[in-house]
Structure 1
Amino acid sequence: MGLKAALSKPFAALVTKKIDRWKYQAATVQEKVREQLVSAAKNTTFGRDHHFSTIHSYEDFKEQVPVRDYEGLRPYIERVVAGESAVLWPGKPLYLAKTSGTTSGTKYIPLTRESMPEHITAARNALLTYIHETGNTSFVDGKMIFLQGSPELKEKNGIKIGRLSGIVANYVPTYLQKNRLPTYETNCIDDWETKVDAIVDETLKQDMRLISGIPPWVQMYFERISDKTGGKKIKDVFPNYSLFVYGGVNFEPYRARLEDMVGKGIDSIETYPASEGFIAYQDSQTEKGLLLLCNAGIFYEFIPVEEIFHEKPTRLSLGQVKLNENYALILSTNAGLWAYNIGDTVKFVSLNPYRIVVTGRIKHFISAFGEHVIGEEVEFALMQVAKEEGVEIIEFTVAPQVNPPAGELPYHEWFIEFGKPPVDMERFRLKVDQALQQKNTYYFDLIEGKVLQPLVIRIMKKNTFVDYMRSLGKLGGQNKLPRLANDRSIAEKIEGYIV
């Protein structure tokens, strides 16, 4: 065991002890966070506009600060981008994280002197809690790879601008720099496929032990390694590879494929980072869900998902939530976001401590016929049956077909790229449909009432979704394929790839 690995155990124990101090009294901690945020920002433009000096309770906060999405907060953010000081938070932000919005175009999310350290601390603590629980420190002494965006930053009105993963790349601790790959030069390559090839060349003969990234892009990295080595399993290329850190999408649809490519089971840590804040991470290999980070400069609110588009939706603080209810996630942060609708939906799988699972995106659903099918339900149905049938899924998306051929009932159309297809496609199709009916009673009623016919599966050519993302200029990095849509915008672009 190397020195870094040896030192990591007592450090992990110390950090875990500090986390334990707040995680079992998180609702009380959240009240203090809200008070601190409001106090710190009372003299900002936003604070004066919303009378922060008169806010003394959560009820006051709800009364004074309406829920907004990016468009609602845009007038303030534009003043921040223009270089104005003390608009949403005291001073100017250190960075603006640049993201791509479907409805808002390019979005700029502020990162401040107060919020930036929370991103770094959370990423570190995810690894330390794993070390404390498992005792596994072997990855600390080997090489680690982080598949992420370019660390090169631009500057506008005195504020540096870049992708979140690229900004964070500039904060890798000194004690990990020698372990970290790819090199800075390779990380700066813009074209994703060129970058992956360069990463393969750099890592192929290294002692890789930890690999981190969004699952579909890690899958591409593994495929390139397999091609380069004549079809070798990852365990034979990197015999000490032991830990996969991921976030951004549900791992389950990719698990079987990735585990087959690796050739052995390895531990994994799920994280929930966003430009708006580092929200949660998996703190246990045995308990379900991600620990909600309640002492990290974010005040959370939760809106029952069925009320999210109401004029005055019910807003709940952490102490008011219930198990297994779907909520829209609302954030107020020490980067100057206030009652901000991040667009994600979550549900709690534990209330002591508070642990969540991400269930989907507010805008990613199908309700063309009133069924309101969400991402969690679609992924569960498909992956449950795929596991039973020994089927391997590479990628998929789902869209409604409201104008079927004459004489046919409408249906949900599933576009699936298989690694290993079903032996009996018809049986597979009907089993997936039955699983979805069991998860969503509205969908069940529509099938029973002959409003919809059972779902239809389209088998897609190899690399359909890679080619689709490439066509959008969104290959790699933090970009993710929407798993379902309430229109046919994606379906129409990939229909030519149907086998």
Structure 2
Amino acid sequence: MGLKSSLSRPLAAYVAHRYRQWQQDPIGTQQRVVRELLTQGARTAFGRDHDLGSARTAQDLAARVPVRDYEALSPYFDRVKAGEPDVLWPGKPLYLAKTSGTTSGAKYIPITKESIANHIDGARDALLHYVHRTGKSQFLDGKLIFLSGSPELETVGGIHTGRLSGIANHHVPAYLRRNQMPSYQTNIIEDWETKLDRIVEETLPQPMTLISGIPPWVQMYFDRLVARTGRPVGEVFPQFDLFVYGGVNFEPYRKKLFDTIGRPVDSIELFPASEGFLAFQDEPGNPGMLLLLDAGIFFEFIPAERFFEPNPPRLTLADVELDQQYALVLNSNAGLWGYSIGDTVRFTQKYPFRVVVSGRIKHFLSAFGEHVIGEEVEQALREAMQQHPEVEVVEFTVAPRVSDDPAVPSRHEWLIEFAQPPHDAAAFAAALDTGLRRRNVYYDDLLSGNILAPLQLTALSAGAFQRYMKSLGKLGGQNKVPRLSNDRGVADGLHNS
């Protein structure tokens, strides 16, 4: 056992102990966090505009600050981006995390001196919890790769600006820097496919032990390795023991990824976002991720079915129920106030509070009143794949197909890129429909009443999703294809890819 793996064990025990302390009083922890945020927020332009100086509680906050997304808060973000201090948080942010917006172009999310620790410590503590729970630490002695965006930063309004993964790259602890792959010169390559080829060249001779990234982009890396060597990834890297992922639901990718690896490896799920590092899988085998309640973020939860009401209820941790869908709202020491992150979560456990990411509040399919969410289609796909074990899925999305002919019912279209297609496509489509009908009563009613026809299954050619994302300039990095759409934009783009 090497020095790093040996030293990690007492550190992991200490971190796990510190987490247990705030877990003993999660509600009180969140109450303390909101008081601290309000004290700092009162010193800002936003705080003066919203009378945060007289606010003391979560109820005060909700009464003064409406729920808004990036577009609604853009006047404040624009002032931050222009270099004005004390707008959303005292002083200026250390960084602006640049993300791809779906409706407003690029977004610039502030990362402050206080909030950067949330991003860095969250990722570190996820690994240390794994060490503490399993006793496995040897992976720290090998080579680690974090498939990420370029760490090169530009300056906007006097503030260093770049992709979150690139910003985080500058804060990799010194003791892991020697282990980190790829090289800086490779990591700053902007073209994803060129970068991927260089990553393959650099990592092939190395004793890789940990691989991390968004599953579809990791799969591209794995496919290049297999094409280059003719061997499964687990043979190419015999010391590869731990796969760390986040950003999308892993289940649709699980079978193909592990088939490509060729043997079991442990995995950890993370819930990172430009707005904050929100949760991680702290208990191996437990799909729920521990919500990080003592990291400078005060969480609010809106029942997903009521999110678009004029004044929806804003629940605190004390009010949530298990197995309900909630839109996630953040207030944080990055200067986010009443900020709708766009994700929906479902609590799988209380005390400690653990969640799974169930979808996107704006990514739902309700062209016919069915309000299907991402978790429902992902679960239906997983169930159909269990019934058809030969099937391997690269990527998929679901869109409405509205009929212009009154005699022909409309339907859903599932656009799937298969690595291994079903032997019986009609039976697989029927299994998808059955699974979705069982999970969504509105969809079931629409099919029972012949308002909708059974779904249309469209098998896309190999590489269709990559070509589509490349056509948008969003191949690789942290970019993701939406699971669900209320229009034909994504579907038509894929048909033309």
Same fold (TM > 0.5): yes
Partner of residue 243, structure 2 = 244
- Amino acid across the alignment from 1:175: Y
What pairs with 1:49-128 in structure 2 (closer than 5 Å)?
A: 49-128=49-128
SS in 1 for 2:403: coil
Partner of residue 408, structure 1 = 408
SS in 2 for 1:481: coil
- Per-residue CA deviations over 1:277-303 (Å, capped at 9, x if unaligned) read 100010011323100000000000000
Partner of residue 363, structure 1 = 362
The percentage of aligned residue pairs carrying the same residue is 55
Partner of residue 337, structure 2 = 338
Q: Does the 8 Å contact 2:33/2:294 carry over to 1? A: yes
SS in 2 for 1:373: coil
Give 1:405 deviation, angstroms: 5.8
SS in 2 for 1:287: coil
Distance (Å, rounded) in 2 between the aligned partners of 1:177 and 1:238: 20
What pairs with 1:407-426 in structure 2 (closer than 5 Å)?
A: 407-426=407-426
Give 1:24 deviation, angstroms: 3.2
Give 1:440 deviation, angstroms: 0.4
Seen in structure 2, the aligned counterparts of structure 1 residues 24 and 384 have a Cα distance that, compared at 3 Å, is farther
- Per-residue CA deviations over 1:3-37 (Å, capped at 9, x if unaligned) read 11111111101110000111232111000000000
Distance (Å, rounded) in 2 between the aligned partners of 1:23 and 1:388: 40
User: More displaced, 57-66 or 118-127?
Assistant: 57-66
- Per-residue CA deviations over 1:309-353 (Å, capped at 9, x if unaligned) read 111110101111110110000000001000100111001000110
Q: Does the 8 Å contact 2:151/2:170 carry over to 1? A: yes
Distance (Å, rounded) in 1 between the aligned partners of 2:236 and 2:287: 31
Partner of residue 209, structure 2 = 209
- Structure 1 residue runs of 4+, over 4 Å off? none
Q: Does the 8 Å contact 2:34/2:57 carry over to 1? A: no
Partner of residue 24, structure 2 = 24
What pairs with 1:91-170 in structure 2 (closer than 5 Å)?
A: 91-170=91-170
Distance (Å, rounded) in 2 between the aligned partners of 1:190 and 1:152: 10
- Amino acid across the alignment from 1:435: G
Partner of residue 275, structure 1 = 274
Distance (Å, rounded) in 2 between the aligned partners of 1:306 and 1:406: 30
Partner of residue 181, structure 1 = 181
SS in 2 for 1:28: helix
SS in 2 for 1:365: coil
Distance (Å, rounded) in 1 between the aligned partners of 2:18 and 2:264: 31
SS in 1 for 2:16: helix
- Per-residue CA deviations over 1:59-81 (Å, capped at 9, x if unaligned) read 21111111111111111111111
- Per-residue CA deviations over 1:250-294 (Å, capped at 9, x if unaligned) read 111010001000000111000011110100010011323100000
Distance (Å, rounded) in 2 between the aligned partners of 1:261 and 1:286: 21
Q: Does the 8 Å contact 2:38/2:56 carry over to 1? A: no
Give 1:490 deviation, angstroms: 0.9
Distance (Å, rounded) in 2 between the aligned partners of 1:311 and 1:406: 35
Matched, 1:376 2:362: no
Distance (Å, rounded) in 1 between the aligned partners of 2:333 and 2:59: 20
SS in 1 for 2:367: coil
- Amino acid across the alignment from 1:402: V
Distance (Å, rounded) in 1 between the aligned partners of 2:448 and 2:24: 45
Partner of residue 297, structure 1 = 296
SS in 2 for 1:249: coil
- Per-residue CA deviations over 1:84-124 (Å, capped at 9, x if unaligned) read 11010000000000111111211110000000011100000
- Amino acid across the alignment from 1:381: A
SS in 2 for 1:244: strand
Q: Does the 8 Å contact 2:119/2:277 carry over to 1? A: yes
Partner of residue 172, structure 1 = 172
- Amino acid across the alignment from 2:453: Q
SS in 1 for 2:491: helix
- Per-residue CA deviations over 1:125-173 (Å, capped at 9, x if unaligned) read 0000000001111101100001000000001222111000000000010
- Per-residue CA deviations over 1:419-449 (Å, capped at 9, x if unaligned) read 1111111111111100100000000110111
Partner of residue 193, structure 1 = 193
What pairs with 1:423-462 in structure 2 (closer than 5 Å)?
A: 423-462=423-462
Partner of residue 387, structure 2 = 388
Distance (Å, rounded) in 2 between the aligned partners of 1:71 and 1:431: 39
Give 1:58 deviation, angstroms: 2.0
- Amino acid across the alignment from 1:8: S
Q: Does the 8 Å contact 2:433/2:454 carry over to 1? A: yes
SS in 2 for 1:38: helix
Q: Give the TM-score taking structure 2 as reference length.
A: 0.99
Partner of residue 42, structure 1 = 42
- Amino acid across the alignment from 1:356: V
Matched, 1:228 2:228: yes
Q: Which runs of 5+ in 2 are unaligned?
A: none
Give 1:235 deviation, angstroms: 1.1
Distance (Å, rounded) in 2 between the aligned partners of 1:348 and 1:47: 31
SS in 2 for 1:366: coil
Q: Which runs of 5+ in 1 are unaligned?
A: none
How many residue pairs were aligned? 496
SS in 1 for 2:355: strand
- Amino acid across the alignment from 2:345: V
Give 1:492 deviation, angstroms: 1.1
- Per-residue CA deviations over 1:191-245 (Å, capped at 9, x if unaligned) read 000000000000001000000000000000011111111x200111100101000
* Aligned CA-pair RMSD: 1.0
SS in 2 for 1:330: strand
Q: Does the 8 Å contact 2:301/2:329 carry over to 1? A: yes
Q: Does the 8 Å contact 2:280/2:289 carry over to 1? A: yes
Partner of residue 262, structure 1 = 261
SS in 1 for 2:48: helix
